């Protein structure tokens, strides 16, 4: 996200007319087939940032117009701008129609990036983007952004942020990013990525509150927390509350990762179907 302003700042018009866009890097599928059709401008914007968060910049790239791709000069430049990105989340989205095929979208953006192995940078931006409807699908065509805040979290705060981001990714079905927060031994406990994903197929939300560091060292920590998990099956809805503890450690080149977690069930109830 250190280069996120390439996305949210005004396009460099000098590149627009003279540089070719890179080819689709994801399997040669036509761009119109790489993201769901019929999405509104707001939903398209959310999908773009969802793919950035989930570590799939190729799918985000396909949502840009050819002119906007040209502003980045190449797909590699675009992807490199998100090399350190942990999450990119828009909120408070508002739409203003300019004409039948042009929409201006205003929103707030919260971005988290790894500063180093022990620290995360949290930034907020006030953004707007122009979106064009091309062949029935909305695409990002240009953007502007103003940074509102920048905070570098300390090591303990970063460890807590990683744990909370993990569960936020589970909620948003950003399973690649969630998997990346786990240490190798914890991944092995799940078996493989597919098995890990299957364990959350009924999950509606997974939310951490009351997170407190209870044991600290220079390269490891333990965090106690309350976990509220909501699941939905064809038969019923389930809300479960757990008291948990997670162990995290610093892995060079990856930062804080979750090495294990234990959750003790405190309560369970079955609300009416959502």
Q: Which CATH architecture has domain 5-152?
A: Roll (3.10)
Decide yes or no: CATH 3.10.450.50 for domain 175-269. yes
pLDDT for the residue numbered 217: 83
Q: 222 pairs with which residues across the strands?
A: 215, 247
CA dist 5 and 10 (Å) reads 9
Q: Residues in the chain with pLDDT < 70?
A: 1-37
Contact between 85 and 73 (Cβ < 8 Å): no
Average pLDDT, the chain: 88
pLDDT for the residue numbered 216: 82
CA dist 30 and 50 (Å) reads 20
pLDDT for the residue numbered 218: 83
pLDDT for the residue numbered 33: 46
pLDDT for the residue numbered 18: 35
What are the residue ranges of CATH 3.10.450.50 in the chain?
5-152, 175-269
pLDDT for the residue numbered 1: 53
CA dist 253 and 248 (Å) reads 15
Contact between 43 and 107 (Cβ < 8 Å): no
CA-to-CA dists, residue 147 to 17, 109, 123, 128, 228, angstroms: 28, 9, 7, 12, 33
């Amino acid at each position: 996200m250190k280069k996120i302003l390439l996305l949210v700042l005004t396009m460099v018009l000098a590149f627009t007319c003279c540089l070719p866009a890179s080819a689709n890097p994801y399997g040669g599928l036509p761009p119109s087939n790489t993201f769901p059709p019929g999405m509104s401008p707001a939903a398209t914007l959310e999908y773009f940032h969802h793919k950035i968060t989930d570590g799939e910049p190729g799918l985000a790239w396909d949502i840009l117009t050819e002119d906007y791709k040209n502003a980045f000069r190449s797909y590699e430049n675009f992807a490199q701008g998100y090399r350190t990105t942990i999450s990119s989340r828009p909120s408070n989205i508002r739409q203003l129609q300019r004409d039948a095929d042009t929409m201006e979208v205003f929103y707030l953006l919260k971005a988290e990036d790894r500063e180093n192995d022990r620290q995360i940078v949290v930034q907020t931006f006030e953004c707007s983007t122009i979106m064009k409807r091309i062949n029935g699908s909305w695409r990002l065509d240009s953007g502007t952004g103003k940074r509102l805040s920048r905070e570098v979290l300390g090591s303990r705060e970063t460890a807590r942020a990683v744990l909370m981001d993990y569960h936020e990714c589970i909620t948003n079905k950003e399973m690649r990013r969630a998997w990346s927060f786990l240490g190798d031994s914890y991944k092995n406990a799940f078996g493989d990525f597919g098995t890990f994903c299957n364990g959350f197929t009924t999950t509606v939300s997974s939310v951490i509150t009351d997170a407190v560091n209870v044991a600290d060292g220079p390269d490891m920590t333990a965090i106690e927390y309350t976990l509220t998990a909501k699941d939905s099956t064809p038969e019923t809805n389930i809300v479960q509350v757990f008291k948990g503890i997670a162990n995290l450690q610093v892995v060079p080149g990856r930062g804080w990762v979750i090495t294990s977690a234990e959750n003790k069930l405190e309560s369970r109830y079955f609300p009416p179907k959502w």
